[in-house]
């Protein structure tokens, strides 16, 4: 049986491990030179985020586990990790933490039962294994559920970017100057990605429109591809300022229509829950007379 001092030492070790995990998770990672150069190199397709062998702490543990066990990462997960500015090692570090939490909670309960003098059965150990499995796949679920919010944020960011470019064009800025000025206004992830692509195009002394199409494919934003076509035609001498503003307005109206449709669907889904109280109230009036009739 575990003594009181042993239990205190065990609880202190668990608390210390939790504080260490929190400290390592909040520590800012040093940017590697290879990652910075990869941003300037650009991508032609979905960027495959590789595990970082130079990572430290929990991220290094996650990267080591992914490499040694050859754990799979889908293309969709790689794209979501890229959009969240996360590495595969960080993703598997989250899996390790959640799996350990799911495994240790029932184990801690077993240890407390032993400390109190009772002998628990083997069922909590089964729950430990089940908790570890659930914790492992909980990270996948959290990443997949974040795609909706990420899509909404990306759509709002790209529409804001279009509005800023239209305003810059109204101020008599050239097409390239308007896009560069609009991309440098915000620190949002999409704005930073567009700004890095434009900087790469500037260093290569090429037009920025292929880079915008690459960002559109990478972030799954087809509106940016159409926008790049309009801006490229305007730079070549076509008077498309009114067309650009009309296109921006059309995209904004389409986005508002989608938001209204989603809000209408959410309201309709609440109809069932709104009718349940009235149904229960009706049953409360009907059931007593029925019971009286059946009992007589």
Q: What is the DSSP string of the chain?
A: ---HHHHHHHHHHHHHHHHHHHHHHHSPPPPPHHHHHHHHH--SS---PPP-TT--HHHHHHHHHHHHHT----HHHHHHHHHTT--HHHHHHHHHHHHHHHHHHHHHHHHHHHHTT----SHHHHHHHHHHHHHHHHHHHHHHHHHHHHHHHHHHHHHHHHHHHHHHHHTT--HHHHHHHHHTT--SHHHHHHHHHHHHHHHTT--SHHHHHHHHHHTT-HHHHHHHHHHHHHHTT---HHHHHHHHHHHHHHHHHHHHHHHHHHHHHTHHHHHHHHHHHHHHHHHHHHHHHHH-
- The per-residue pLDDT of the chain, averaged, comes to 76
The arithmetic mean of pLDDT across residues 18-33, rounded, is 58
The arithmetic mean of pLDDT across residues 152-180, rounded, is 84
The arithmetic mean of pLDDT across residues 242-246, rounded, is 72
3-state SS, 216-264, equals: HHHCCCHHHHHHHHHHHHHHCCCCCHHHHHHHHHHHHHHHHHHHHHHHH
The arithmetic mean of pLDDT across residues 15-32, rounded, is 59
Model confidence pLDDT, tens digit, residues 274-287: 788 888 888 888 88
Are 183 and 216 in contact, with CB atoms under 8 Å apart? no
Tell me what percent of the residues of the chain surpass a pLDDT of 70. Answer: 76
The pLDDT value given to residue 1: 46
Q: Give the C-alpha separation, 188 to 292, whole Å.
A: 67
The pLDDT value given to residue 204: 85
Model confidence pLDDT, tens digit, residues 111-154: 777 777 777 677 777 788 888 888 888 888 888 888 777 777 88
Of 77, 60, 87, the closest CA to residue 137 belongs to 77
Model confidence pLDDT, tens digit, residues 197-241: 888 888 888 888 888 888 888 888 888 888 888 888 776 655 666
Model confidence pLDDT, tens digit, residues 50-107: 545 555 667 777 777 777 777 888 877 877 787 777 778 888 888 888 888 888 888 7
């Amino acid at each position: 049986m575990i003594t009181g001092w042993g239990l205190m030492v065990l609880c202190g070790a668990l608390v210390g491990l939790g504080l260490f995990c929190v400290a390592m998770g909040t520590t800012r990672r040093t940017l590697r030179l290879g990652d910075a150069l990869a941003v300037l190199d650009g991508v032609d397709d979905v960027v495959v985020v590789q595990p970082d062998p130079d990572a430290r702490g929990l991220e290094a543990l996650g990267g080591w586990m992914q490499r040694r066990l050859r754990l799979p990462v889908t293309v969709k997960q790689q794209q979501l990790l890229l959009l969240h500015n996360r590495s595969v090692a960080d993703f598997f570090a989250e899996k390790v933490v959640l799996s350990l939490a799911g495994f240790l909670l029932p184990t801690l309960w077993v240890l407390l039962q032993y400390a109190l003098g009772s002998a628990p059965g083997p069922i909590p150990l089964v729950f430990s294994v089940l908790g570890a499995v659930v914790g492992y796949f909980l990270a996948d679920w959290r990443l997949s559920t974040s795609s909706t919010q990420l899509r909404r944020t990306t759509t709002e960011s790209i529409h804001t970017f279009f509005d800023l470019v239209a305003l810059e064009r109204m101020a008599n800025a050239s097409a390239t100057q308007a896009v560069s000025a609009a991309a440098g206004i915000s620190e949002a992830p999409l704005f930073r990605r567009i700004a890095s692509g434009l900087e790469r195009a500037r260093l290569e002394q090429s037009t920025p429109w292929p880079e915008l199409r690459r960002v559109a494919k990478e972030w799954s934003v087809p509106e940016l591809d159409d926008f790049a076509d309009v801006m490229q035609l305007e730079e070549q001498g076509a008077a498309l300022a009114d067309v650009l503003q009309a296109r921006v307005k059309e995209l904004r109206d389409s986005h508002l229509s989608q938001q209204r449709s989603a809000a209408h669907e959410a309201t309709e889904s609440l109809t069932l829950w709104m009718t349940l109280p009235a149904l229960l109230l009706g049953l409360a009036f009907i059931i007593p007379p029925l019971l009286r009739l059946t009992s007589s």
